[in-house]
Amino acid sequence: MNQEYISIRHLSKKFDRSFVLKDVNAVLGKGEILGFLGPSGAGKTTTIKILTGQLRPTSGEAEVLGIPCDRIDERIYEQIGIVTDTSGVYERMTVYDNLKYFARLLNVPLDRIDPMLKRIGLYEHRKKPAGKLSKGQTQRLILARAILHRPKVLFLDEPTSGLDPSTALEIHSLLLELKKEGMAIFLTTHNMDEATKLCDHVALLNEGVIVEYGSPEEICLKYNRIKRYRVQLTDGTKLTLSQDPDTAGRIMIWMKENRIETLHSCEPTLETVFLEVTGRELK
């Protein structure tokens, strides 16, 4: 069993008279990615703020690296990295100096900076003012700054929101590398495809309540109640067929006649599961 880096037990948060989080439970181990998924206002960012000591919970318990969240102080930032929608860069400073500034704050050797810039594809821009970077390049710089000190836990709040598909894929690749190296990653997103690709476990969050929790595959298969298959034949015919003996016979004949171009199962996606469970679309 993986070492637990984050533990959340019966966590609730109330603002005025309204609960933003209600009885939330989750665990994140070393070398895992945990996704908190849901639309805006579901409670994802509030969870990160509690786990990083920016907010106190109304009830329940949460620990990061064995430290109760209500006792977190600035020392935790030597062991965690954070990327949120409010993370920014010093626009007048160069790309290199942005990382140099944080390296000095966190006692990181300066010889880590150039390899990090090469790893994220910004080495050739190291002397450029950060304000001259594109949005995708800026997001990569923010991520580089969050992992420069090699934290044990990385918090990512909608890290690829608004990015082009190519840049998003580059960030996905880096996150999977970090996971392989043993970093624990807590990811919030409303992008269910992203979560399916990256996460070991996901929590589907709706109005502060976890409505489903498990691996993406487990959750999708749980709701695969009516099994269907999409078939495209070599003549261009497209069919959606239910799982039954007649379908099995037809597919066998088409395979013998080499007439099948593509064959796919139709299990639901995380997005369709979320819609079924909550009646809400992701926005």
Nearest to 58 by CA among 23, 6, 7: 23
- To the nearest 10°, report the CA torsion of 185, 216, 170, 178: 30
CA distance 161 to 136: 10
pLDDT tens figures, 182-226: 999 999 988 889 999 999 999 999 999 999 999 999 999 999 888
- pTM: predicted TM-score of the whole model, two decimal places: 0.88
pLDDT of residue 1: 47
Burial class of residue 260 (count of CB atoms within 10 Å of its CB; 0-12, 13-18, 19+):
middle
Rounded to an integer, the average pLDDT of 127-133 is: 95
| Domains defined for the chain, CATH in brackets | 4-93+132-221 (3.40.50.300), 225-266 (no CATH)
**Is residue 157 classed as helix, strand or coil in its secondary structure?**
strand
CA distance 191 to 45: 15
pLDDT tens figures, 29-57: 999 999 999 888 889 999 999 999 999 99
